[in-house]
Structure 1
Amino acid sequence: MQSNIKYKRALLKVSGEGFGNENGRGIETGRFITLAKEIQKVSEIGAELAVVVGGGNILRGARLGSVGKSRVQADQVGMIATVVNALFLQDILEGFNVKVHVVSAVEIKDITEPFKIRACLQYLKEKDIIIFAGGTGNPYFTTDTAAALRAIEISADVMLKATQVDGVYTDDPIKNASAKRYEKLTYMDVLSNRLGVMDLTAISLSMENKLPIIVFNMNERENIKKAIIGESVGTYIGE
């Protein structure tokens, strides 16, 4: 166990697009393997880690709801998509001898575990990895909000937001080469300027509960571990 861990318990948010191809669609096994190796490194240093996965690589409920009759049912389909990603990630992690539990707000009997806070806290104390799936279990809430909610419920020291770029910028750095990266932001900076880091509900929840957020590039090796031990990566959002 590494002694210089800054954030002993962390919640990692990974969007569904992080599991897909260059367009963020489909299931790319290599992406799951890469992430699993990074999670394994965190497990080896003795940090407690929970993961919230999105499902946008398979289906985005909001997008489906825009063409169908029921946004509620569309979001339910999106919740199931997150379970698919969670189960893939669990299988690969177990192949690396990492003990992991898939806990879903949308229970699928004999496949996922229901969300019970006492059980989750015990898993974390035992240094098991938890993958939270199913979002919040309610329509109209994103997996960003689910990540903030679960982080607060498990008393996480930090929320790590894994993205395709190395932090929060003044503009889209992919489209605008002159965009500047922020090293540090307050919650109000994000809310007032609608920077699009996470949805506003997730930022508000984090602000109310003083939950710091680190936004970083998930494609850089050991970034998750670096963030947890306190090295400077990405953009820090806090008070």
Structure 2
Amino acid sequence: MAVTAKAFQLWRQEIAPTDSVSDLCRSAGIKRSTLAQQLVRGKVSVSTLLAVARGYGLDPVCALAQFEGYTDLLTGMRAPTSAELLSQVSHRDILKLLVARGEGTGNGLSDLVPFPHRNSARAWIEAIDPGDLRQQLSERSGIARQNLSAQLSAGRLSPGLAIEASRIAGVSLTSGLVVTGLLTCAEGGWPVTGRADALNALSDTDLVLLARDRLDALGKQLRKADADENRDRAIWENLG
């Protein structure tokens, strides 16, 4: 959910009253044309707002919390759950630890594959789902479930939907912004070593079950990709 251009303009006049738009963009490290287009459309993206906040040394969460739709962001900020942390661990790291433990050298991993990755948003949604999250999210936001699924399949989740999902699930309101890459772990209240700590704390049994679930999900994705590729190839062949 973007913020209104009017609200953004009022905010930026407060934080940098003497700076021009060019000065603002230079400090934020964004293109002037990008901001200009957003202002013309009347909506400024959350990523632009956060870039400006960082450029002026402001806390991104505090800055975003000043805008409508995000006012409860600070009060709703808390530590992530173990399930959330594990949702952002790559299957490669899970298998690496599993093999290391099997060989008797599994003292724990510390250097994990970076995130967010393509499946970050979907994995996070599944980790916090109380059972009817997608249905509730669809009803509250007005977005069709198929459109929500399309976002997740593409590895995307809008800031508004991410925060609304957090509200429904009762987790930190900043978590969705972390798993979509809008906030860093430090900015969103996620411990830097949180993912590794959650992974290393798993018992052998839980680690095997987690590996099974991830590989099953990966297999489904690969089968779908293969089916899509075969369908596209057949279409091109029929076109001659």
Name the structure with the higher strand share. 1
TM category, shorter? under 0.3
Q: Which has the larger radius of gyration?
A: 2
TM-score (normalised: structure 2)? 0.24
TM-score (normalised: structure 1)? 0.24
